[in-house]
Amino acid sequence: MGIAETYSRGREFAIERPFALVLGVIAAYLLGDLLLGLVTGQTQFADIGSLVWDGLMRGLVIGLAGIGLSMTYSILNFANFSHGDYITAGAFSGWSTTYLLAGLGRADIGALVLVGAGGSVYGGTLGIGMLSTPLAVIAGIVVAGGFTILLSLAVDRTIFKPIRDEGGITLLITSIGVAFALRYLMQFVFGSDVRGTTAQPPSVGLYLVDGTVFIDAHDITLLVIASGLMLGVHLLLQRTKLGKAMRAMADNEDLARITGIPTERVVRSTWIIGGGLTGIAGYMFILWKGTLGFNDGWLLLLLIFAAVILGGIGSIYGAITGGLVIGLTASMSVLWIPSAFARAAAFVVMIVILLVKPSGLFSGRSTA
């Protein structure tokens, strides 16, 4: 038995060790390179601070949007490729509201509703911002969440529900169809130009060793809203009956059905919670970065998938952690590699996780 154990362990090591070894060497090299840069003054602490902050913000958006994706992934058992376009839809609906409230009387209503399509009106000109037009922003957040809930329920009712039992791949392919239909419908309505949406928000500079890290009002807004919503979802899933039912369904749908959990109602709740968070994430993403285009959600989607897989499908903590890791990776990778590859770096992290631990960091802890 001793020999056998040694043998099988040796086999395992032969497979796993080189991986761990290579990863370790790479990590050490990157760290060494960074430290060297700091010592020689090529890299500044403040630069790193700014990148970390940037990554954190990005990570919050990804994490917030990732919760919804992770929930539908585990409860409905399919990778929803239209999720990215829900984000965009939420952003457009919310920003339409914000423009309307902030610019009423100052610009043509049509131009405002269409979020200044074709350069008809600019968010900067309207002075939009959390501190300058707080009501318009808050109303925008609410509408973004509400509209995305309605959208995801409507899509579910008409498109996903009839083929719910067909298996994950059928649903996945269908969701790609939904994604394209939605995205180009939005392009048809709102145009294809990327518009600036906010006026420059006030910011404070934090002194850090050799420079300043700027944090603006919209960063803070994102931080507060995202953490608040994350905490809310945590409480909802931990403390309520609904949360328990969702966790049960993510574990085993058939069993859940047998034990009398009203699965259709849980599905609807999933879309409501997921859709709401996704829409708000879309709005906050635009508030934070200050520009809006019809491709924004789609471009974010792959990073969100990366985050969700990294964290482990079905785990909301996994989605949040994964979001932060992916966000930080995408932002900080420019310390070592050209910025054109920043996004690629995030995907590489995902692929490495799939190799090393395909079930994700928080595996086996469904929706909790």
Residue number, 45 or 188, with CB nearest to another protein: 188
Q: What does the angle CA 312 – CA 316 – CA 319 come to, to the nearest 5 degrees?
A: 55
Task: Say how many C-beta atoms besides its own lie within 10 A of residue 351's C-beta.
Answer: 11
- If one asks whether residue 10 binds another protein (CB under 8 A), the answer comes out as no
Considering the complex, what minimum distance in angstroms separates the CB of residue 63 from another protein? 18
- If one asks whether residue 258 binds another protein (CB under 8 A), the answer comes out as no
Interhelix angle 263-289/45-76, nearest 10 degrees: 160
- If one asks whether residue 173 binds another protein (CB under 8 A), the answer comes out as yes
Interhelix angle 168-190/296-311, nearest 10 degrees: 150
Interhelix angle 83-103/296-311, nearest 10 degrees: 130
Measured CA to CA, the distance from residue 63 to residue 229 in angstroms comes to 11
Q: Is 364 helix (H, G, I), strand (E, B) or coil?
A: coil
Strand partners, 33: none
The stretch among 181-189, 226-234, 241-249, 264-272 that binds another protein (CB under 8 A) is: 181-189
- If one asks whether residue 69 binds another protein (CB under 8 A), the answer comes out as no
Site string for another protein, 294-313 (x = CB under 8 A): --------x--xx--x----
One of 35, 42, 154, 166 touching another protein (CB under 8 A): 166
Site string for another protein, 343-362 (x = CB under 8 A): xx--xx-xx--xx--x----
Measured CA to CA, the distance from residue 279 to residue 85 in angstroms comes to 10
Site for another protein in 122-141 (CB under 8 A): none
One of 30, 176, 236, 242 touching another protein (CB under 8 A): 176
The stretch among 24-32, 47-55, 161-169, 245-253 that binds another protein (CB under 8 A) is: 161-169
b (16+ CB within 10 A) / e for 255-279: ebeeeebebeebbbbbbbbbbbbbb
Considering the complex, what minimum distance in angstroms separates the CB of residue 274 from another protein? 17
- If one asks whether residue 232 binds another protein (CB under 8 A), the answer comes out as no
Give residues with Cβ within 8 angstroms of 49, minimum separation 6.
206, 208, 211, 213
Q: Which residues bind another protein (CB under 8 A)?
A: 1, 4-5, 7-8, 11, 78-79, 108, 110-111, 113-114, 117-118, 120, 159, 162-163, 166-170, 172-174, 176-185, 187-192, 302, 305-306, 309, 338, 340-341, 343-344, 347-348, 350-351, 354-355, 358
